[in-house]
């Protein structure tokens, strides 16, 4: 029997797909990757973290949160993992973990309900996580120019806004490429020292 | 909803010490003598030949992530697995990696 490699030579990168309810998160992850549901059992009472009452688990309310999870293999040893964030507000605490160390995020926006993506935009801006806004076009909506969306969402000038049809693989790919290009610029501009301090929190 | 934690003896790990994209590699072959439960044996088999992420291990075994973390914690304590922490994007060892990702995405 072969022995396992002595080192783990693989590199894993994490991209989040966020946005309001029903905006196309699952569709996007599924269009560009082999999608699998990922279950987490969350104790809603433990949302504040740091709970170490190991004996009392059975009495706490737990709920199952399903996340979309997909993997794109770039090459042997380099993979990108996509996580569709759960939409409901009460699972916000899960986002913190997902966002830690993320390369960047796609915030999906539906022009009929643009405000639905405010919380996601806020979240990533506050944490300095590079993101792009991808505007999904649903039937019966007029075409919004990226700069209109950018103004309506009060985005920083550097934050890209791209059109997208989450059902189309080619379109989903373009969104991800836009994100990684943006993230690459943002990360290159940051000094490693900042990054280390940011990690240590 | 609570039942999965019976296989962890009711334990949870309060802090997520295994990131969802942390990579796990198994260091031992599963034999009947190995003192692990069936779920841990399944995890060990999955990551024996190739490193797998915590998220993939959860998806493959269809276990909740929290349960997988507890089980992996035991395997780590027993030194049956090794876990690599994900590299923060700003500390990527090579600036060309993101270009590789872009090229890879375009070629999908
Ligand atoms: N026209 C159009 N329809 C879309 C697009 N993306 C998704 N849809 C449709 O919108 C519906 C909701 O998409 P989902 O991918 O389930 O949305 P979601 O964000 O995962 O929804 P929740 O997880 O419930 O918050 C589905 O019927 C999709 O087919 C798009 O880009 N254009
Ligand atoms: Mg969904």
Residue B91 lies in domain: 4-107
Q: Tell me how many domains chain B contains.
A: 1
Assess contact for A105 and A124: CB atoms under 8 A: yes
Per-residue pLDDT of chain A (201 residues; tens, 9 = 90+): 444 444 555 889 999 999 988 999 999 999 999 888 888 876 665 444 444 455 544 456 777 788 899 999 999 889 999 999 876 666 777 788 889 899 999 999 998 899 999 999 999 999 999 999 999 988 777 788 899 999 999 999 999 999 999 999 999 999 999 999 999 998 877 755 554 544 443
ipTM over 0.90: no
The answer to whether residue B1 scores a pLDDT higher than 50 is no
- pLDDT tens per residue, range B23-63: 999 999 999 999 999 999 999 999 998 899 999 999 999 99
Q: Is residue A30 one of the residues assigned to a domain?
A: yes
Per-residue b/e over B44-59, b at no fewer than 16 CB within 10 Å?
bebbbeebbbbbbbbb
Describe the strand order of the beta sheet including A104-110 as a list of residue ranges. Answer: A34-43, A62-75, A78-84, A11-19, A104-110, A131-136, A161-164
- Three-state DSSP at B15 gives coil
Q: Is residue A47 one of the residues assigned to a domain?
A: yes
Residue A136 CA to ligand 1 center (angstroms) comes to: 9
pLDDT of residue A49: 44
pLDDT of residue B90: 77
How far apart, in whole angstroms, are the C-alpha atoms of residue A65 and residue A47? 13
Nearest to B12 among A57, A74, A80 (CB): A57
Distance linking the first and last C-alpha atoms of chain B: 38
Residue of B nearest to A65 (CA): B64
pLDDT of residue A187: 80
Q: Is residue A4 one of the residues assigned to a domain?
A: no
Q: State if residue A22 touches ligand 1 by the CB under 6 angstroms criterion.
A: yes
CATH number at residue B50: 1.10.10.10
Q: State if residue A138 touches ligand 1 by the CB under 6 angstroms criterion.
A: yes
pLDDT of residue A160: 97
How far apart, in whole angstroms, are the C-alpha atoms of residue A91 and residue A108? 18
Report the candidate in A11, A13, A15, A177 with the shortest Cα–Cα distance to residue A78: A11
- Read off the DSSP letter of residue B86: P
pLDDT of residue A50: 46
Residue A97 lies in domain: 11-200
Q: Is residue A2 one of the residues assigned to a domain?
A: no
Residue A19 CA to ligand 1 center (angstroms) comes to: 11
More confident residue, B14 or A14: A14
Pairing mode, strands B23-26 and B81-84: antiparallel
Does A57 contact B11 at a Cβ distance shorter than 8 Å? yes
CATH number at residue A115: 3.40.50.300
Q: Match 């049809």 to its residue by tokens.
A: A165
Asked if B99 is an interface residue toward chain A (Cβ–Cβ < 8 A), one would say yes
Backbone φ/ψ region at B46: left (φ over 0), alpha (ψ -120 to 50), beta: alpha
Nearest to B95 among A102, A188, A198 (CB): A188
Res. B91 pLDDT band, cuts 50 70 90: confident
Q: Is residue A6 one of the residues assigned to a domain?
A: no
Assess contact for A67 and A120: CB atoms under 8 A: no
β-bridge partners, A79: A12, A73
Distance of CA A63 to the CA centre of its chain: 21
Assess contact for A119 and A19: CB atoms under 8 A: no
How far apart, in whole angstroms, are the C-alpha atoms of residue B60 and residue B99? 30
């Amino acid at each position: 029997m072969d022995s396992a490699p002595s080192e783990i030579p693989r590199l894993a990168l994490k991209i989040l797909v966020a946005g309001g309810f029903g905006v196309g998160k699952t569709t996007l992850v599924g269009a560009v990757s082999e999608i699998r549901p990922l279950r987490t059992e969350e104790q809603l009472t433990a949302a504040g973290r740091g709970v170490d009452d190991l004996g009392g688990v059975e009495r706490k309310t737990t709920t199952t949160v399903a996340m979309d999870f997909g993997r794109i293999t770039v090459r042997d040893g380099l993979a990108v993992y996509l996580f569709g964030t759960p939409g409901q507000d009460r699972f916000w605490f899960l986002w913190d973990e997902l966002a830690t160390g993320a390369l960047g995020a796609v915030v999906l926006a539906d022009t009929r309900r643009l405000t639905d993506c405010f919380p996601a935009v806020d979240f990533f801006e506050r944490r300095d996580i590079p993101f792009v806004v991808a505007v999904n076009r649903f039937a019966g909506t007029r075409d919004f120019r990226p700069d209109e969306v950018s103004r309506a969402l009060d985005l920083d000038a550097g934050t890209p806004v791209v059109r997208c049809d989450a059902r189309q693989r080619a379109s989903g790919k373009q969104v991800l490429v836009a994100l990684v290009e943006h993230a690459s610029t943002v990360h290159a501009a940051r000094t490693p020292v900042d990054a280390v301090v940011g990690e240590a929190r | 909803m609570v039942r999965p934690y019976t296989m962890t003896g009711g334990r949870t790990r309060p802090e997520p010490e295994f990131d969802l994209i942390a990579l796990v590699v198994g260091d031992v072959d599963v034999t009947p003598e190995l003192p692990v439960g069936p779920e841990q044996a399944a995890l060990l088999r999955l990551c024996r030949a190739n490193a797998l992420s915590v998220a993939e291990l959860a998806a493959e075994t269809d276990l909740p992530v929290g349960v997988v973390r507890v089980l992996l914690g035991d395997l780590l304590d027993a030194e049956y697995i090794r876990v690599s922490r994900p590299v923060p994007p700003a500390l990527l060892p090579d600036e060309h990696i993101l270009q590789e990702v872009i090229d890879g995405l375009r070629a999908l």
